[in-house]
Amino acid sequence: MKTANADAVSSASGRAAAPPSVLVEGAKKFYYMGGETVRAVDGIDLRIEKGEYVSIMGPSGSGKTTLFNIVGGLTKPTEGTVYIDRTDISKLDASELAWLRCRKIGYVFQTFNLVPIMSALQNVMLPLIFGGVDRTEREDRAHEMLKLVGLGERVHHKPTELSGGQQQRVAIARAFVNNPAIVLADEPTGNLDLKTGLHIIDMMIEMNKSRGVTMLCNTHDQKIIKASDRIVWVSDGRVEKIERPAEAQAAFQDEGGPKA
Amino acid sequence: MSAVPGTEDPLERGRSQLPLREVLTCFVFQSLKLRMGRLAVVLLGIAFAIAFLTVLVGTQMVMDGIKRIAAETSETADGEGGSGAFRNWWIVVALLIATAGITNAVLMSVTERVKEIGTLKCLGARSLHIVEIFLFETLLLGTLGGLLGGLLGVAALAVLFGAQLGPDFLLVFGWRDALTLVGISVLAAQGISLVAAVVPVALAARIDPAEAMRYEV
């Protein structure tokens, strides 16, 4: 379901037959601080097809976190429209947004963010509770997901009893358990060592391919970039360019690091 | 909900939910159990304030009992009737202390759990669910504190007046009075915990998930 054109920055007319997973049109987000307007996102158009694995790159302060929050239904854009799986999120009220986050979006964070008082199993069951899944099915599905990420034996462990990599695997199980349309990962390997990070990346790619879930990943990790379908470079609140992994790799080698 | 023109609204209608049973089993009981070490201090604080309240109210009950018996045996009562206003003043002070203690405890609990609240909202929790979680936690804490304080207060009362009146104490303050007094203490503690929770719980409900995720404790 990928577009052949690498520069598939959308316009409303350039829509493929299948509806995109994410469609951002002219999104702007301004913050007003100390009498000044901060243009965190300043007119971004982005189209992500279903099942695509897209990485967002850019220096800190470039607006990628804001873009992330907009696509994740956490922040409403000041201007523009954002469609997640065909739903215009700018028109949703708070409770509809909560439902969208519950049913359509999965989150994986740099700091894992498991609920500390809850076991791995309970953490994975949370989205199912909010989603209204009944008790027995909820447990079955959470067990199944934890088995899938290789933690079938540790379902009753609390986050503090798990290593960083294991916590992130619980977070991945939690993000995918509700069969979301899109999973957003914010520096998912940022707090992990290289080897553990690789496991996590493999796991996310596997989930992306086997379940057809769209992935949007905010990262500096070259391994993730290599595995992505496209890399979106964000700078000063705009999309600077959209590349294929091979082009990005070349840029890395030329400059010895991500462009700032 | 509006959809891209020409396509069907794919988001099945619904609202995220959190049944009361899950509020209690997944959040409230577990949270209080795991945080009990620190909450014990808060609990004792509430219990002592409530115990003080219980003693004040109980003293009134004992005095009334003495007066009643004195009237029946047509003796003249020697209870100090004039200090009632002063006692009410102390009751207000005890209530205020307990309220402040609970507000502080809930505020701390909210601040240290900003990320947890943000995470829950990311997973689909509505603000109402956050309100429920914290309100029931506070209510349970208040109930425990009230019960403990009530029992402590009755015990203190028995020691205080038992020493003065001897076995006659049981004539003016029976089991029924003791139960009533504990009941009053629990109700009072629940009442003030609800009042104390209003501001912190409102703050918790208004936490913005996007900001919460960047929050450093």
Q: Cβ contact (<8 Å) for A74 and B123?
A: no
d(CA A178, CA A183): 11
Residues of chain B with a CB closer than 8 angstroms to some CB in chain A: 1-4, 7-12, 14-19, 22, 26-27, 30-31, 34-35, 115-116, 118-127, 129, 208-210, 213-214
Chain B neighbours among A 115-154 (CB < 8 Å)? 115-118, 122, 126-127, 129-132
d(CA A174, CA A169): 8
Which pTM does this prediction carry? 0.85
d(CA A186, CA A55): 10
Tens digits of residue pLDDT in B3-59: 444 344 445 668 888 999 889 988 999 988 888 888 898 899 899 999 999 999 999
Tens digits of residue pLDDT in B151-188: 999 999 999 998 888 888 888 888 899 999 999 999 99
Please list the residues that pair with A115 across neighbouring strands. Answer: none
Nearest by CB to residue A117, choosing from B7, B34, B213, is: B34
In which element (H, E) is residue A147 found? helix A135-148
User: For A80, phi and psi rounded to 5 degrees?
Assistant: 90, 175
pLDDT at B139: 94
Q: Cβ contact (<8 Å) for A86 and B123?
A: no
Nearest by CB to residue A99, choosing from B16, B22, B27, is: B16
| Ordered strands of the A182-186 beta sheet | A105-108, A182-186, A214-218, A53-57, A230-235, A238-243
Please report residues of A whose CB lies closer than 8 A to that of B34. Answer: 117
Q: Cβ contact (<8 Å) for B213 and A92?
A: no
Residue B117's nearest CA partner among B106, B105, B129 is B129
Could you report the predicted ipTM of this complex, rounded to two decimals? 0.86
Please report residues of A whose CB lies closer than 8 A to that of B28. Answer: none
Separation in Å, CA of B180 to nearest CA in chain A: 37
Question: Three-state DSSP class for B204?
Answer: helix
**Residue-wise pLDDT tens for chain A (260 aa)?**
444 443 444 444 444 457 898 999 999 999 888 888 888 899 999 999 999 999 999 888 888 888 989 998 888 889 999 999 888 988 888 899 999 999 999 999 999 999 999 999 999 999 999 999 999 999 999 999 999 999 999 999 999 999 999 999 999 999 999 999 999 998 899 889 988 998 899 999 999 999 999 999 988 888 888 889 999 999 999 999 898 887 877 776 665 555 44
Q: Cβ contact (<8 Å) for A72 and B122?
A: yes
Please list the residues that pair with A243 across neighbouring strands. Answer: A231
